[in-house]
Amino acid sequence: MVARHDLTTDPQLLEGLLQARRGTAFFARKLNELSDAELDGDSLLPGWTRRHVAAHIGYNARAIARLVEWAATGVETPMYASTEVRNHEISFGATLSPIALRNLFDHSAVHLNVEWRDLPADAWQHKVKTAQGRIVPAEETVWMRTREVWVHAVDLDNGATFSDIPEPILERLLNDITGAWAARGTDKNLVGRVTSRQQEQAFGDTAAVSPLEISGPLADMACWATGRATAGVTASREGKHVTPVPPAPAWI
Ligand code: ZN
């Protein structure tokens, strides 16, 4: 007998699952608004059409479902056999017929959701390995998927913006990215300021003497930090405007 509801009762995890499901529904809406012909159009990602984005999100759900299955069974099943296999899969997916591409997205999203729903409460702490080689508890898969569906919904270039992404997700996203910069030391002489919070939030090389300062509201700062666009963000050094706004350090 298959459960019709999540087996976990952890409130934080249930909230995370809700955000992942909302993001999936949001991506579905932006995808479904596009006609078959419009799928051939460019996405916001260099070299990728909207077909590539849709294929990537479909295969991403399958890859994440493999991690959830790993947590459930203890049998190691990596996200992807290799980076080449992942990239090849996306290029292949982009050539599918529109109906097959849409089915790939729909079915993979349903499958992942079933895997999450049926994962026993204790198995959410079982360790799995991400494509980047990080060892994480299975509950991290919820955030991994959340990030993908929300950000790539914007990449479909069909009217969605970072302002459509819920604030807690933008905050966590910005934390992830700036944490990666700090770990790699790529934020030297760079200070970011989020100006839309009650209390201004700063990150980066806050001890630098004359850093490049990038500031803007949360959604625009997150958009800039992911390497997408610079609208709504200003740059300055020692009080003088810097134009154009320099690109953010690489994220992934
Ligand atoms: Zn992605």
Per-residue pLDDT reduced to its tens digit, 65-95 = 999 999 999 999 999 999 999 999 999 999 9
Is the pLDDT at 1 greater than 70, yes or no?
A: no
Instruction: List C-alpha distances in Å: 214 to 13, 20, 148, 185.
Output: 33, 29, 25, 17
- pLDDT at position 2 is 53
Beta strands in 41-194 (DSSP E): 127-129, 135-137, 190-194
| Of residues 98, 93, 91, 65, the one with CA closest to residue 80 | 65
* CA 14 to ligand 1 center in whole angstroms: 23
Tell me the Cα Rg of the chain: 19
**Ligand 1 centroid – CA 60 distance (Å):** 8
Instruction: Check the CA dihedral 157-154-100-78 and report its sign.
Output: positive
Instruction: List strand residue ranges (DSSP E) for 166-225, in order.
Output: 190-194, 201-204, 212-216
Q: How far is the CA of 56 from the centre of ligand 1 (A)?
A: 7
CA of 149 to the centre of ligand 1 (A): 8
Superfamily per CATH, domain 11-160: dinb family like domain (1.20.120.450)
Residue 42 has pLDDT above 90, yes or no: yes
- Each residue of 236-250: pLDDT tens digit? 999 999 999 999 999
**Domain boundaries along the sequence of the chain:** 11-160, 167-241
pLDDT digits (tens, 9 = 90+) for 115-140: 999 999 999 999 999 998 999 999 99
What is the CATH T-level fold of the domain 167-241, as seen in this structure?
Nonspecific Lipid-transfer Protein; Chain A (3.30.1050)
Q: How far is the CA of 107 from the centre of ligand 1 (A)?
A: 18
What pTM does this model have? 0.94
Q: What mean pLDDT do residues 164-193 have? A: 94
